[in-house]
Structure 1
Amino acid sequence: MLQKTRGIALSYLRYRETSIIARVYTEEFGLQSYIVNGVRSAKSKSNKIAMFQPLTLLEMVVYYKDDRDLHRLSEAKTSYPFQSIPFEVAKSSMAIFVTEMLTKTLKEEASNPMLFRFLIDSVLFLEDARTNYENFHLTFLLKLSFFLGFGPESAREFEDQLHENSVPFLADDELTNALNTMLRQPLGTAIKLSRSGRNELLDALVSYYKIHIDSLGEVKSLPVLREVLG
């Protein structure tokens, strides 16, 4: 049955000669996989594959059956064409990291309006921001953890959980203040954080996620993100 839904592109892999299988977090159905035909064909007149780059916001018409893991896409268009995320190294590095973390952590194949709204608002912030986005990836992970069911209430709780699981992390005043601000304030709030502090907090956050999600595994985009944004 044909259904309309908004979606956020996460990743894709090649499928047969000319198609892809796209992973999309949708407003109506949660995390879904779609076969997209013909996007890699030399005869394709439009660059449709670009619609499935990290965090692209989509409006879709899909074939949906609740007893299937793989669905087909009827129509798709970009609802908010990006002018900065794909073209600025810092933002594109964040987008790749965020989509990898979302792909590893989002499992629910059901509608979650509050989570979807959070993701949309976060993507729009990153796209439109001109200042105060250097800590976006850190604040995003902290806020996402609440939707996943393991958000810390304070910097102290965050640090205690790491210590209980033998993760070495000692928050000085800078890191403590940064963590508490990220937890309590919206994206885009100015936060004083040094390069070394940003790297330390990034590693701590990934370790925190690994404590709560056994299947997280290696985060392949982490070294590049650390180098670009540290």
Structure 2
Amino acid sequence: MLVNTEAIVISALKYGEADLIVKAYTLESGVRTYMLRGVLKSKKGKFKASLFQLLTQLEIVASHKDKGTLEYLKEAKVLHTYQSLHTNFIKTSMVMFLAEVLKNAIKEEEANPHLYQYLKISLNWLDLHNSIANFHLLFLLKLSRYLGFHPDDSQTNLPYFNLLDGVFQEIKTNQYCIEGENLIILRQFLDLGFNDSSNLKLNQNSRNSFLNMLIFYYELHIEGFRKPKSLAVLNEIFS
């Protein structure tokens, strides 16, 4: 089936000497993986490798077999040109982390337009702003809503948050119940938008601890989710 759709690149892996395997999250068909032959060596080919930088927003025409196999990409062009996402060192490090999270977290080969629009709006915000030290924390928290395990925020006044069940509660019922500083930070982030995220001042230890808690939250709720390898780099940058 021939599909014309928007797509966000979430990984690009070199295969052999000249080929590229690109995984993208598409507006029309969810996660799809494409084999691009010769793209790394051909100067006159249809595609340039620069098209497939992490989190690039593309408009593509592709042939989808819908069989869980590698798909065929017929056309691709940049839909939105970033101003700083691929040139600012801090942002490129964050892009690596976010792309790795998305690769691990999103598996479905089906459309989810609300999730796609969230990714698109969030990336455009990151591209245009400089106070971004808390962006990845709020991004992960908000992303959990579209993945189906956002914290129930109806009783945030309660003294514990149960990571396993995703609820605030009166008493500690298992080893996954958190309290203390991470609970306080969670309450604060639940009330924030990206424009306000920089108003929350966190030191290195607090930011790293809360991020590790969010990663663990993802591990509890997404089968096969792995701690991103780029996590250490991100922690170092915002130290």
Give TM-score scaled by structure 2 length.
Answer: 0.85
1:203 is matched with: 212
1:90 is matched with: 90
The 8 Å contact of residues 12 and 54 in structure 2, kept in 1 or not, is answered as no
Tell whether 2:147 aligns with 1:145.
no
The 8 Å contact of residues 10 and 99 in structure 1, kept in 2 or not, is answered as yes
Note the alpha carbon deviations across 1:80-129, whole angstroms, 9 max, x for none.
12221112122111111111011001011000010000010111011111
Note the alpha carbon deviations across 1:122-178, whole angstroms, 9 max, x for none.
1101111133x2111000110111111111124668833267663695433xx4453
Identify the structure with the greater helix proportion.
1
1:222 is matched with: 231
1:62 is matched with: 62
Give TM-score scaled by structure 1 length.
Answer: 0.88
SS of the residue 1:93 aligns to = helix
Tell whether 2:189 aligns with 1:182.
yes
By how many angstroms is 1:68 displaced?
4.4
The 8 Å contact of residues 38 and 44 in structure 1, kept in 2 or not, is answered as no
CA distance 1:71–1:42, change in 2 (3 Å): closer
CA distance 1:171–1:89, change in 2 (3 Å): farther
CA distance 1:164–1:97, change in 2 (3 Å): farther
The sequence identity of aligned pairs, in percent, is 37
By how many angstroms is 1:9 displaced?
0.4
By how many angstroms is 1:181 displaced?
3.3
SS of the residue 2:195 aligns to = coil
The one-letter code of the counterpart of 2:142 is K
What is the distance in 2 between the residues matched to 1:208 and 1:165?
14
RMSD value over aligned CA atoms? 2.4
By how many angstroms is 1:2 displaced?
2.4
Which stretches in structure 2 are left out of the alignment for 5+ residues?
Answer: 165-171
The one-letter code of the counterpart of 1:179 is L
What is the distance in 2 between the residues matched to 1:62 and 1:52?
15
